Amino acid sequence: MANVTVIGAQWGDEGKGKIIDWLANRAEMVVRFQGGNNAGHTIVVGDKTYKLSLLPSGVVQGKRSIIGNGVVVDPWSLLDEIARVSAAGLKITPEILVLAENAVLVLPLHRELDAMREEAAAQKIGTTKRGIGPAYEDKVGRRALRAIDLMDPATLPGKIERLLAHHNVLRRGFGHPHADADALLKALSEIAPKITPFLGSSWRELDAAKRAGKRVLFEGAQAVLLDIDHGTYPFVTSSNTVAGQAAAGSGVSPRDIGTVLGIVKSYTTRVGEGPFPTELKDDTGERLGARGNEFGTVTGRKRRCGWFDAVLVRQTVITGGVDGIALTKLDVLDGFETIKIATHYELEGKKFDHLPADANLQARIKPVYESLEGWSESTRGARSWAQLPANAIKYVRRIEELIGAQVALLSTSPDRDDTITVKDPFVGR
């Protein structure tokens, strides 16, 4: 099966949505396998812009789209999103969209707990306040409600009681009133008939696709540096974002996830708190943010910006399982006289060729840069390698050398078609 798995290789917002939409043209199925509506994937097609949080990016091209079991799903948010994209002209029916029956639900009490914690914390994570962390906690704690539970609302009261026994203790601790069990039951009973038509089996869909020789595209959200195991803990999201999760989060063999494409921005950004060695809190950082339009898709927060950090991406290529990369937003660097790349870190005379696991060290290490000559020409909208200035090519080649992975795709604008193919990811590793 010539499948492709797309993951973010930095701190998110690398342009996964754009690349997945572009690849979806040649896939028959698109599958989300982790995260929830903390994701914001932007797809630009001509004069239309779609912002997707829960819906797999395959819906833009009308491809069969699966929300896998590894995703945590806020059903109200899902319906809002369906309404929003339907108004923009997309058709979201049970023929297009399947929601895994064993996916965990994000409830209003998860959003509330997320917000209570963020507000009370001295050291905030800077979450999206969508309830993602609390929902995954309940999943692992074996007390979560799942999509399948909506099929039989008569069983909900007992499940809600079990869940609230846990949550009400936490809420009391924060000085908040208990959650209203009756209101939750009513809300879930009301939404159930709107969600259940989409329920299905992710693993069976994928098994059927495999038997029929169909191509599947696995869509990651967030990115490896936000991975609960491999990211900058505790400033991470609450799921595994590495390629291996595509298998567990959808119900396929790890052998069937295909070529792993890491999406890499030509510089670095991060939303929320946490270490960021190459962050630029100066005019250059502002310039990157302004040229790259670096504002969060979900929360509208300003993204922190900095130079490309080759140490981080060299590491995420390994931990994420990346076979090749899609390098995005090269056009944002147009016009910079000098462009810097961090090649390693230093602290108190000691050299680091990787990001140390200790959060304290992560906050203190200093990047060591090499400088490359920029280019004054525009790369925006370039659709062939030949259209790129020599210094832009040098920059790309140097990144490949430093991270130990090759560029398969290069993106030069938000638009779907402004993409250069160097090596077709569907052809294999």
Contacts with Mg ion, residue ranges (CB under 5 A): 13, 40, 297
Helix (H, G, I), strand (E, B) or coil at 231: coil
In terms of CB distance, is 40 or 56 closer to Mg ion? 40
- Give the distance between the most distant pair of CA atoms in the chain: 67
226 binds ligand IMO (CB under 6 A): yes
Question: Which one of 7, 9, 31, 39 is in contact with ligand IMO (CB under 6 A)?
Answer: 39
Can you tell me the distance from the alpha carbon of 158 to that of 343, in angstroms, rounded to the nearest whole number? Answer: 55
**CB of 78 within 8 A of CB of 103?**
no
Task: Output the smallest distance, CB 321 to ligand GDP, in A.
Answer: 18
227 binds ligand GDP (CB under 6 A): no
Q: Name the burial class of residue 191, with classes exposed (0-12), middle (13-18) and buried (19+) by CB atoms within 10 angstroms of its CB.
A: middle
Question: Which one of 126, 153, 200, 356 is in contact with ligand IMO (CB under 6 A)?
Answer: 126
Question: Which one of 9, 10, 15, 64 is in contact with ligand GDP (CB under 6 A)?
Answer: 15
> Of the listed pieces 172-180, 183-191, 365-373, 410-418, which binds ligand GDP according to CB under 6 A?
410-418
Find tokens 């960021």 and name the residue: 276
Can you tell me the distance from the alpha carbon of 228 to that of 385, in angstroms, rounded to the nearest whole number? Answer: 37
In terms of CB distance, is 45 or 96 closer to ligand GDP? 45
Question: Which one of 23, 52, 67, 125 is in contact with ligand IMO (CB under 6 A)?
Answer: 125
Task: Output the smallest distance, CB 288 to ligand IMO, in A.
Answer: 16
Contact partner at residue 412 from ligand IMO, ligand GDP, Mg ion, none, CB < 5 to 8 Å by partner kind: ligand GDP
Strand positions, DSSP E, 121-246: 199-200, 216-219
Question: Number of C-alpha atoms within 13 angstroms, CB side, residue 349?
Answer: 0
202 binds ligand IMO (CB under 6 A): no
- Residue 13 among the catalytic residues: yes
**CB of 281 within 8 A of CB of 99?**
no
| Phi and psi torsions of 102, nearest 5° | -95, 15
Complete DSSP assignment for 52-85: ESSS-GGGGGT-EEEE-TTSEE-HHHHHHHHHHH
In terms of CB distance, is 65 or 222 closer to ligand IMO? 222
Find tokens 């050291």 and name the residue: 123
Return the closest-CA partner of residue 41 out of 15, 60, 22. Answer: 15
Question: Which one of 40, 134, 289, 306 is in contact with ligand GDP (CB under 6 A)?
Answer: 40
304 binds ligand GDP (CB under 6 A): no
Catalytic residues: 13, 41
Residues of this chain that bind ligand IMO (CB under 6 A): 8, 11-13, 38-41, 125-128, 130, 132-133, 221-223, 226, 237-238, 271-272, 297
Residues of this chain that bind ligand GDP (CB under 6 A): 8, 12-18, 40-42, 44, 297, 328-329, 331-332, 411-414
